[in-house]
Structure 1
């Protein structure tokens, strides 16, 4: 990709700049010629795939599909991915239901190869949805090459409202956070929890995360994160804490103050 995301500042000021310019930056990123070739190939070919084996056998299709769910590191693990996609996600014994990382279940659900109904890759709008996710994830990875913390914040902005709107039980929603390493990092940091909390029993971890949410926003109910204001509050706490832990950073004089005052949109 020739276009590189612009992140002139660290911490919450940097987040305000990035989130305010996000639509324009993603559009410019998506217009890169290298990316448009993959988009055209995926849109043309994905509807011809009939099963999990067909998807994993096509490197270019699989690269886009995995990238849409942040699972691009599994590109060489084709047998594993085929198993993830082939098992019915509603079965307790399905591999995705035994994996701590819930991104695999979301990936399997999106394609629907393991269910009794026809796979979803032939539905209208499927290609556009996956490609939009893939472009956003690619952009987040490009951001991460400059600032890992900003990448985590972008992932939270995208994933937390989706999770809160899925209609899951409150416990299942929080367990999904615990099982998603990037999201877990955002919540842990925003709540001021130590990484070592992961060594505690699961019920104690759930209590700590719910207590952290209550301290931050006054509620432990995960559905609160369908509200963009609550999501922004979570990210604000995360970016402020990461900036504080990193110590002072050289910023353009006065620029941070201008952003926080709303002078720069």
Structure 2
């Protein structure tokens, strides 16, 4: 049985190859071909919101599919841009909104916003990563969460960024052994609790970030057991790996951040 820890590490080891395989999936190729052929014709926020295919692609690329129906909110995010500290994208703690408004900066670039690399190939790269994470999640949710956390870590600036994103919060709660019931506490109390457990700035350090993710996957394995991925495409990158004993998983899970 392949644990989340081994599965995650095998994907990261072959990450460029895994992404290339995901990008070549027929449904991804078709969606991306349409996107690149048409996104340049979008000259305004209205144009984007009114084209269902493009809007779905963009929302998927920035991890906001769960907010597809909140077009009023998305309109405000895009129209406000990111230049002002008071813009909606900057005041929302969820880093996904700022990433979206930065990539599609209609406020600063107007009709030329979709010509930017961030709105073209940048969005495509995000879409492929999101698709990979979704595919992985069908086999092992813990690995999907780990990949998502790794991708979002550079944009995490405070405990509030974590609290604003359910997946980020779930990873942190699992890794640090925090009860989900903490969500019943005032938001400032939750933020203080997270900040006390580890330095948010450590997530900007690749080595410390990797250690944190390994702590998460080890704890996830200890709590949920292990699962073997069955997707033929994903299995190409995992190979045959020996299992990890439950004792070792528990030892890894109990390691203190920064410890040996």
TM-score, normalised relative to structure 2: 0.79
Q: Is the 8 A contact 1:152 1:182 kept in 2?
A: yes
- Residues 164-243 of structure 1: pairs in structure 2 closer than 5 A: 172-213=157-198, 220=199, 222-243=200-221
Q: From the superposition, tell whether residues 125 and 256 of structure 1 become closer, same or farther in structure 2 (CA, over 3 Å).
A: same
Q: Is the 8 A contact 2:6 2:241 kept in 1?
A: no
Query: Of the candidates 129, 147, 155, which is equivalent to residue 163 of structure 1?
Result: 155
Q: From the superposition, tell whether residues 14 and 248 of structure 1 become closer, same or farther in structure 2 (CA, over 3 Å).
A: closer
- Residues 84-103 of structure 1: pairs in structure 2 closer than 5 A: 84-89=77-82, 94-96=87-89, 99=92, 101-103=94-96
Structure-1 separation of matches of 2:116 and 2:240:
52
Structure-1 separation of matches of 2:22 and 2:56:
18
Q: Which residue of 2 aligns with 1:256?
A: 243
Structure-2 separation of matches of 1:96 and 1:16:
33
Q: Which residue of 2 aligns with 1:123?
A: 116
Query: Of the candidates 5, 14, 24, which is equivalent to residue 7 of structure 2?
Result: 14
1:30 is displaced (CA, Å) by: 0.6
1:77 is displaced (CA, Å) by: 4.0
RMSD: 2.9
Q: From the superposition, tell whether residues 254 and 108 of structure 1 become closer, same or farther in structure 2 (CA, over 3 Å).
A: closer
Q: Is the 8 A contact 2:4 2:226 kept in 1?
A: no
1:242 is displaced (CA, Å) by: 1.0
Q: Is the 8 A contact 2:4 2:227 kept in 1?
A: no
Structure-1 separation of matches of 2:223 and 2:4:
10
The structure with the greater share of residues assigned to helix is: 2
1:111 is displaced (CA, Å) by: 0.8
1:100 is displaced (CA, Å) by: 5.5
TM-score, normalised relative to structure 1: 0.78
Higher relative contact order (CA 8 A, sep 6+): 2
Higher mean C-alpha displacement, 85-94 vs 128-137? 85-94
Q: From the superposition, tell whether residues 224 and 242 of structure 1 become closer, same or farther in structure 2 (CA, over 3 Å).
A: same
Q: Is the 8 A contact 1:101 1:181 kept in 2?
A: no
Q: From the superposition, tell whether residues 124 and 12 of structure 1 become closer, same or farther in structure 2 (CA, over 3 Å).
A: closer
Q: Which residue of 2 aligns with 1:75?
A: 68
Structure-2 separation of matches of 1:235 and 1:110:
27
Q: From the superposition, tell whether residues 81 and 207 of structure 1 become closer, same or farther in structure 2 (CA, over 3 Å).
A: closer
Alignment coverage as a number of residue pairs: 236
Structure-2 separation of matches of 1:132 and 1:248:
29
Q: Which residue of 1 aligns with 2:232?
A: none
Q: From the superposition, tell whether residues 34 and 134 of structure 1 become closer, same or farther in structure 2 (CA, over 3 Å).
A: same
Task: Structure 2: give runs of 5+ residues left out of the alignment.
Answer: 230-238, 249-260
Q: From the superposition, tell whether residues 68 and 249 of structure 1 become closer, same or farther in structure 2 (CA, over 3 Å).
A: closer
- Residues 31-46 of structure 1: pairs in structure 2 closer than 5 A: 31-46=24-39
